[in-house]
Amino acid sequence: MTAQIIDGHAVAAKLLEDIAHDIEQFTLTHGRRPCLATVLVGDDPSSHTYVRMKRNRCAEVGMESRYVELPTDTTTADLVAEVQSLSADAAVDGILLQHPVPAHIDERAAFEAITPGKDVDGVTMHSFAAMAFSEKGFHSCTPGGILRLLDAYDVPLAGQRAVVVGRSPILGKPVGMLLLARDATVTYCHSHTWELADQVRGADIVIAAVGRPELIHGEWIKDGAVVIDAGYNPGNVGDVDYTGAAERARLITPVPGGVGPMTIAVLLEQTLAAANSVHFG
């Protein structure tokens, strides 16, 4: 068996096309474009690359992008004040705080300064609770993108055993909540799980989100399973041994080109939704 590749670029391109059309209609109706404010602290090269990609996508779909760059020595209090100012700014519809922030900053405090209605990256405790309780709110963008990919490829979720390897508050934990809401049976694992291989071998759907290159061995994958690799490590390496896993899986995401494009597309979709909620309630 050779796995079919899940093409994140293609799925994201269709979503971005729809977003661009809706933004055009929004702009004609309201006389302004939806606005995403991006906050970047420090000079981490990867973070600058990610922010540039997000701003470029904003331009492509006709969305306004406001860029706030702060020095590495910014304090938690200063960052919180900046985020609170954006939260209070009626011209800003969504706020993205690029993470990780420098180690001396309390990242959680900075996230919680984002008002829930503008948390289009789904990083606050309010958004996590909304995901866990299936209430109205914004999804964490990568988990939301993963669910979109599964739906685009008609992957059944109800009754399926999904193993999530990773437990971060903006990826591993929320994707498990979203899968559970769709009636999957979810098992959380991580780098310290005993007999991790046995857990993965029983999975119909594997979500790798632990941030360790090729932690998931190809021979662990059950024949016919669906593999979503949300890891991204130096050298364009995911958390899954792609070559080995592709010999067993039915569907698999590449790294890059799988999950990544969907993260940005969902971010822009949720920014448009935030703009619409201001006007339509």
Domain 30-116: CATH architecture, name and number where available: 3-Layer(aba) Sandwich (3.40)
- Alpha helix (H) ranges present in the chain? 8-30, 45-61, 76-88, 107-112, 125-132, 141-152, 172-181, 196-201, 242-246, 260-280
Average pLDDT for residues 59-87, to the nearest whole number? 98
118 is catalytic: no
pLDDT in tens, 111-128: 999 999 999 999 999 999
For residue 138, pLDDT over 80 is answered with yes
22, 54, 93, 229: the active-site residue: 54
- CATH classification code of 141-261: 3.40.50.720
What is the chain's mean pLDDT, rounded? 96
Other C-beta atoms closer than 10 Å to the C-beta of 229 total 26
Find the DSSP H helices in 153-280: 172-181, 196-201, 242-246, 260-280
Question: What is the C-alpha to C-alpha distance for residues 92 and 256, in angstroms, rounded to an integer?
Answer: 31
**pLDDT for residue 193:** 95
pLDDT in tens, 77-95: 999 999 999 999 999 999 9
Q: Is residue 84 annotated as part of the catalytic site, yes or no?
A: no
How do the domains of the chain map onto residue ranges? Answer: 30-116, 141-261
Phi first, then psi: what are they for 162, rounded to 5°?
-110, 125
Query: Which pLDDT band, with edges at 50, 70 and 90, does 96 fall under?
Result: very high
Cβ neighbourhood burial of 114 (10 Å; 0-12, 13-18, 19+): buried
pLDDT above 80 (res 278): no
Active-site position among 22, 93, 119, 121 = 121
pLDDT for res 280: 36
Q: Which of 93, 98, 222, 241 is catalytic?
A: 98
The yes-or-no verdict on residue 51 having pLDDT over 70 is yes
The predicted pLDDT at position 255 comes to 97
| For residues 185-199, average pLDDT | 95
For 20-36, what is the mean pLDDT? 97
Q: Does residue 279 have a pLDDT over 50?
A: no
Residue 16, pLDDT above cutoff 50:
yes
- Would the CATH topology of 30-116 be identical to that of 141-261? yes
Q: What confidence tens digit (pLDDT) does each residue in 159-168 have? A: 999 999 999 9
State the pLDDT at residue 1.
72
Q: Give catalytic status of residue 54 as yes or no.
A: yes
